[in-house]
Copies of this chain bind each other. A is one copy, B any other.
């Protein structure tokens, strides 16, 4: 049972739209049936046609898409809508989609503001529909394995959580060169109050809570706009305190010239530690006192059900970023299909990020930026 998928955003010049579409195709759970790829109707149609859609279902705006699709017969109508627009165009399309009975896949961060994210949660709850937030890195099998091992007590009570996302692509004023990606991500009217912290800091924060199982309680941020002329932060470091006593450090920067996208996390507990990095995404280092470290591998016969459920190839045939992304789409599809069949979804299928992670991410953005401006050391992490 393939789900009928629509897309909002992802037209010419976009990056993440194409990634979403590949992710949707890999496991064959979806059929792309419609899109509003651009606010320019002609460009949207051109994109739609290039993707094999008809002109009729290549809409000129998200409103048009939702209105038109709502009037189609149920067996033809889109079922899941992916929203891959810049942050300022997340909330309205998502709200409208949910209110009109569509499930939503939403690129991160959830919304433009925390307030919006909380409203979206209310809308979602009223709609009875589902929402997946694409925190890609939690889709990696070895990230899931790390979470499961920690949850199972393998490393004991967690003491330290180190997470970092070090990029270099905004080392210069890229937004002054016509780079569309750089332009909206550094524009407060489109990105929100945060640049790096919103774009990649939220990924790091989400990864930290997901893997460690810990809940942030306080933060202390040092936030910078390093490149002259830039309107938003492009660099930051944050001290973290978690409920339960663990502490940590989060680093997110986009101005580390020459660095790629090697997001990484280490978590240490009373009995051991785990270390994972995207550069060696199919390996998970598991350390324990007084024993050789182990390297768990994607596809290993010994991995748990969450890792193996999210794996397609034998150990040593690397799965990558697109497969991690596809795991979000696949698990969301399994969950949507289960609701359609009025059956329970498995724990493995349900293991995708959603609106709660979205709200926490937006709260992180607001409070990390506030902390960056504060002379006070610790800012409590509270979601009102």
Query: Footprint of B on A, CB under 8 Å?
Result: 2, 15, 18-19, 21-22, 25-28, 51-52, 155-156, 159-160, 162, 164, 166-169, 171-172, 220, 222, 224, 226, 235, 237, 239, 241, 247-249, 251, 253, 255-262, 266, 268-273, 278-281, 286-297, 299-302, 312-323, 374-378
Contacts and interface: CB of A to CB of B under 8 A. Distances in A.
A258 to B, nearest CB: 3
Contacts of A314: 15, 169, 260-261
24 contacts: A15-B314, A22-B27, A22-B312, A166-B268, A168-B289, A222-B241, A224-B247, A253-B268, A257-B269, A257-B270, A257-B287, A258-B272, A258-B288, A259-B316, A260-B297, A261-B315, A291-B302, A292-B297, A292-B302, A293-B295, A295-B295, A317-B320, A322-B322, A377-B377
A260 B316 contact: yes
A280 B279 CA distance: 8
A194 to B, nearest CB: 17
Contacts of A248: 237
Contact of A287 (B168, B226, B235, B281): B168
Contacts of A266: 166, 256
Nearest to A238: B239
A299 B321 CA distance: 13
Contact of A255 (B27, B159, B172): B159
Given A21-B28, A222-B241, A235-B247, 5 more contacts: A22-B27, A222-B247, A255-B268, A261-B314, A292-B297
A372 to B, nearest CB: 10
Contact of A273 (B164, B258, B268): B258
Contacts of A260: 297, 299, 314-316
Nearest to A280: B280
A318 to B, nearest CB: 4
Considering residues A172, A220, A289, which has the most beta carbons from chain B within 10 angstroms of its beta carbon? Answer: A289
A152 B317 CA distance: 29
Residue from A235, A286, A288, A321 whose CB has the most chain B CB atoms within 10 Å: A321
Nearest to A249: B237
Nearest to A291: B302
Contacts of A280: 280
Contacts of A281: 318
B247 A237 contact: yes
Nearest to A167: B316
